[in-house]
């Protein structure tokens, strides 16, 4: 067996919150064969299998009584190129931001707005990650996943994935599909998205009137670096809460009561509220209790100042949820997966 299984491994290096819990068993998958061996091993030992990527969407609240399999497969390749439309495939274990930078170095556009998002390629479709007006679904071609129930491979196209805001079929069928590689449709002619957030303003301030995809990526990296803490310096999982979707009626009522409310009308008639604005207005920005806190510059980000446990961070998150529900009648949904 090529899979190297270790016992009693700390998961602190493998989750961006830096929470120190222990995995009963731990292994890394560098190939499809490693994945199959891990499935067979967990079945033979009657242990659950928990698959992780970059650990940027996890909140670990206790030791993990399972075989934790970290996806570490690497490889990026061009599958087709007609001069304008290029299909690129990346293995699940590829780190997301370096993959984005690689695409830009090849003269390809499409991923620039998703720069500096933590995590891996394989985890990106799970959440339909998005930023600054672009989501995975906008550049997605297809993916290959292994059915953990049957051991068979299945190809998923765009419709199969049922992408929605921070959502996909892979979240609804959690534990069934193990994503092995993902394909993206990128272009040589840039179709830039500059209207969401302060992107255009940042480019204007830099005197860039005709930006390239690389310019947009650099601007977004700068904006994100100013707003969001580096997990290597301060433990966090990025945006901890989803921006809530509410009815047009509730959105209008809240706007009357709170004229400064940040809200975005949606095509389906709902209104998306800025969770960070709600949390900041409620006074949580910069809050700290022991080593669990809310970031001083971005209220949407919970942080671990050093030795906070997952339970302490979860308790803080639940208190924020309760407060926002009482103040605004709005439920905040957590983005990280809880274990």
| Active-site residue set | 166, 239, 335
The CA-based dihedral angle spanning residues 293, 196, 136, 66, taken in that order and rounded to the nearest 10 degrees: 0
Are 280 and 300 contacting, i.e. CB atoms less than 8 angstroms apart?
no
Are 52 and 16 contacting, i.e. CB atoms less than 8 angstroms apart?
no
Residues sharing a CB contact under 8 Å with residue 124, sequence separation 6 or more, in sequence order: 96, 117, 136, 182
Residues sharing a CB contact under 8 Å with residue 234, sequence separation 6 or more, in sequence order: 295, 303, 304, 305
How far is 276 from 325, CA to CA, in rounded Å?
14
* 187 token code pair: 């272009």
Query: Which CA distances in Å does 198 have to 129, 193, 219, 227, 298?
Result: 19, 11, 9, 12, 15
Residues sharing a CB contact under 8 Å with residue 10, sequence separation 6 or more, in sequence order: 20, 21, 22, 23
Are 121 and 204 contacting, i.e. CB atoms less than 8 angstroms apart?
no
Give, as one character, the DSSP assignment of residue 242. P
């Amino acid at each position: 067996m090529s899979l190297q299984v270790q016992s009693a491994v700390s998961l602190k290096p493998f989750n961006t919150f830096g929470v120190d819990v222990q995995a009963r068993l731990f292994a890394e998958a560098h190939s499809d064969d490693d994945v199959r061996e891990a499935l067979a091993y967990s079945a033979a030992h009657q242990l659950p299998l928990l698959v992780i990527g970059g650990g940027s969407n996890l909140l670990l609240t206790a030791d993990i009584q399972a075989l934790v399999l970290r996806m570490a497969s690497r490889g990026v390749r061009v599958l087709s190129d007609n001069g304008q439309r290029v299909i690129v495939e990346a293995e699940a274990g590829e780190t997301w931001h370096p993959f984005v930078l690689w695409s830009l170095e090849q003269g390809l556009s499409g991923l620039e707005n998703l720069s500096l998002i933590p995590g891996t390629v394989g985890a990106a479709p799970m959440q339909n990650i998005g930023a600054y007006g672009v989501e995975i679904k906008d550049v997605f071609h297809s993916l290959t996943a292994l059915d953990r129930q049957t051991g068979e491979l299945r190809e998923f196209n765009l419709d199969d994935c049922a992408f929605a805001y921070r959502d996909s079929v892979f979240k609804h069928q959690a534990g069934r599909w193990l994503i092995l590689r993902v394909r993206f449709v990128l272009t040589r002619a840039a179709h830039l998205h500059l209207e969401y957030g302060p992107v255009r303003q940042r480019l204007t301030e830099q005197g860039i009137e005709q930006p390239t995809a690389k310019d947009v990526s650099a601007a977004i990296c700068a904006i994100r670096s100013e707003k969001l803490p580096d997990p290597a310096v301060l433990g966090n999982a990025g945006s901890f809460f989803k921006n809530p979707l509410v009815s047009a009626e509730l959105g209008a009522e809240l706007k009357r009561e709170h004229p400064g409310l940040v809200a975005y009308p949606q095509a389906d008639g709902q209104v998306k509220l800025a969770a960070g604005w709600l949390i900041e207005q409620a006074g949580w920005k910069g809050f700290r209790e022991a080593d669990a806190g809310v970031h001083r510059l971005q209220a949407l980000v919970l942080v671990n100042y050093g030795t906070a446990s997952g339970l302490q961070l979860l308790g803080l998150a639940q208190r924020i949820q309760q407060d926002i529900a009482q103040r605004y009648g709005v439920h905040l949904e957590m983005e990280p997966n809880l274990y």
